[in-house]
Amino acid sequence: MSTRYSYAKVRRRNESAWLLPNDGTRTNHALRRDMRTYADGDEVDLVIVGAGAGGSVLTQRLARAGWRIVCLDAGPFWDPDKDWSSDERGAHVLYWTEPRLIGGSDPVPLGSNNSGRGVGGSMVHYAGYVPRLHPSDFATYTNNGVGADWPISYGELRTSYEDIEAELPVAGQDWPWGDPHSYDHHAHPVGGNGEVFLRGAKALGVQARVGPVAIPNGRFGNRSHCIYRGFCLQGCKVNAKASPLITHVPDALAHGAEIRANCHVSRIHVDPRTNRATGVTYLRDGVEHLQRAKAVVVAGYSIETPRLMLLSATDAHPDGLGNDHDQLGRYLMVQGAPQTAGRFAEEIRMFKAPPPEVTSEQFYEDDPGKPYRRGFSIQNVSPLPITWAEHVSAQGHWGKDLRELMSDYVHWATLGALCEFLPLPQNRVTLAEEKDRHGLPVAHFSYSQCDNDKLLLKAAQGVMEDLLKAAGAEQVMTITRNAHLVGGARMARTAESGVVDSEHRVFGVDRLYVADGSVLPTQGSANPALTIMALAARLADKMIAHGRAA
Ligand SMILES: Cc1cc2nc3c(=O)[nH]c(=O)nc-3n(C[C@H](O)[C@H](O)[C@H](O)COP(=O)(O)OP(=O)(O)OC[C@H]3O[C@@H](n4cnc5c(N)ncnc54)[C@H](O)[C@@H]3O)c2cc1C
């Protein structure tokens, strides 16, 4: 571990890893049983919608500062021992599978690959890659003529990045790209898939690094070390992979927050007299409740956050909260995530390690010599058999062909790219006519790629195929897919160009905030969870400095 942080310093800020049991079980049941609870009629300091990456960090930070917090999540309070299995099919309970409609010229399928539900949010079943954004991501419009400029700079997030990296904690080699930095935990040993990446990179002179992954290398507090069984996306059964369920929720409960599971928020209330957010309506077991609060934070992720704000329209805000200038739901982004598999004569067994292994950010920055703006990163991905079947069948293999490729699984290695698709106004969430089981209009998500997006996909595919061939692949197979969702309630300098200001306050409504991935104006080629958590930690600092609403 580096000298930058000691465990004692992390523990003084966030004791979660030490609040977990160390008797071979994974959940501190006493902490949940004895958590402080509030009545709906109690006016708490803050109600937070969503206990995912953004909502959990904010809950933990503000509970520590003595705020009275209720955090509502539509999904369950997971218990890794009881609810999760080392089984791709069994993990389907983790995904947000409520109905949503999709459209546009490149519709984005929504489901297991996009969002989670329940306490811990999507990070419960995320892959665990946690790179930072680069400083350039905060000013792509000024520097490259595309995308958008953030109202804050990278420098304003640096300390929060360091804090969250120490709390997850992150393991990886020294990072040469963006703002060069090191990690508190040394990189993990790589498996067969990682070795292929490193071999191909060396042969081509491409820089690659092991990490950065939110899995401690060794024990951390009472969290077990990683057992390299490869089921990170199915919910880590041993509590090695970080998610807010184990990295921030225990400390939040220990400091008096109430995290209320299975509560679907259907409306944000705004007092027409004061124009202040005053609480939320939520549904539990089909029964409507009202939680009063002095302020409201929405952290339901990029589709559900704009949807809830659209559903909360009032006479004063007839098009939805934060939508007085027709910005809500717009500039929603996915990353183009083509995936290339290569066949090797020897056995690779790509499942035998966490899927996050090796990364290259050599192609991340804008290169004026290229026909496209901005760039992409490349990482190992390790599809398990069902996801592998999806990869192979997406290539048109079926019947005997498909069976042969499935039984050949152990010979394949896989790389995935993250291409920086641009924020475009027409890529947007609106409300559909169709209703969900609560009778609420579902989200319609329209997505169309621009020419720059398509050029990036092609370039990333070329690099991945070259890497695998240079590592000795006899055959390569690429499919096109998407990853991650960010934007939809973006941060901006003015209400005419976004939904929240630099301190996450929704334009046009007092005491209403957004604290999740929807606020990102651009996405770089980095996986988003670390940035979402760092932004929430920064927001908590601002809110604590301003003090609680009277
Ligand atoms: C398969 C997969 C792999 C991924 N891999 C990576 C990775 O390797 N690295 C990375 O950085 N990112 C990864 N991600 C993305 C990452 O998990 C998300 O970007 C991040 O968790 C989003 O944070 P958030 O706070 O915006 O939302 P979430 O973490 O999704 O939290 C939102 C929460 O809000 C709740 N909610 C929504 N609507 C309501 C409502 N109306 N009422 C009450 N509760 C509500 C949901 O139940 C959910 O718990 C991955 C995602 C997936 C699906």
CA of 90 to the centre of ligand 1 (A): 19
Atom of ligand 1 nearest to the CA of 304: 38
147 token code pair: 């995308």
Q: Counting atoms of ligand 1 from 1, which one is nearest the CA of 75?
A: 47
- Strands in 75-227 per DSSP E: 101-103, 209-210
Instruction: Using the mean position of ligand 1's atoms as its centre, give its distance from the Cα of residue 18 in Å.
Output: 24
CA–CA distance, 164 with 7 (Å, rounded to integer):
13
- Pick the residue whose CA is nearest to atom 14 on ligand 1: 126
Question: pLDDT tens digit string along 10-53?
Answer: 999 999 999 999 998 999 999 999 999 999 889 999 999 999 99
Shortest-distance atom of ligand 1 to CA 95: 53
Distance 305 CA to ligand 1 centre (A): 11
Tell me the per-residue pLDDT of 468-498, one tens digit each, with 9 for 90 and over. 999 999 999 999 999 999 999 999 999 999 9
Question: Ligand 1 centre from 116 Cα, in Å?
Answer: 5
CA of 485 relative to ligand 1 center, distance in Å? 9
Q: How many C-beta atoms lie closer than 10 Å to residue 290's C-beta?
A: 13
Residue 401 CA to ligand 1 center (angstroms) comes to 36
Would you say the CB of residue 524 lies under 6 angstroms from ligand 1? no
**In terms of pLDDT, which residue wins out, 159 or 229?**
159
Is the minimum distance from the CB of 127 to ligand 1 under 6 angstroms? yes
Average confidence score pLDDT of the chain:
95
Instruction: Find out whether 268 and 506 touch, Cβ atoms under 8 Å.
Output: no
- Locate 97 and state its tokens: 């599978």
pLDDT at 206: 98
Query: 406 C-alpha vs ligand 1 centroid, how far in Å?
Result: 30
Q: Domain residue spans in the chain?
A: 7-16+36-81+116-546
Residue 431, H or E segment:
strand 428-435
CATH number for 7-16+36-81+116-546: choose from 3.50.50.60, 3.40.50.300, 3.30.365.10, 1.10.760.10. Answer: 3.50.50.60
Q: Please tell me whether residue 296 adopts helix, strand or coil conformation.
A: strand
Q: Which tens digit of pLDDT belongs to each residue from 345-403?
A: 999 999 988 888 999 999 999 999 999 999 999 999 999 988 899 888 888 889 999 99
ipTM exceeding 0.95, yes/no: yes
- Specify the ligand 1 atom closest to the Cα of 73: 44
Could you tell me if the CB of 482 is within 6 A of ligand 1? no
User: What pLDDT score was predicted for residue 2?
Assistant: 47
pTM for this predicted structure: 0.98
Nearest protein CA to atom 35 of ligand 1, as residue: 50
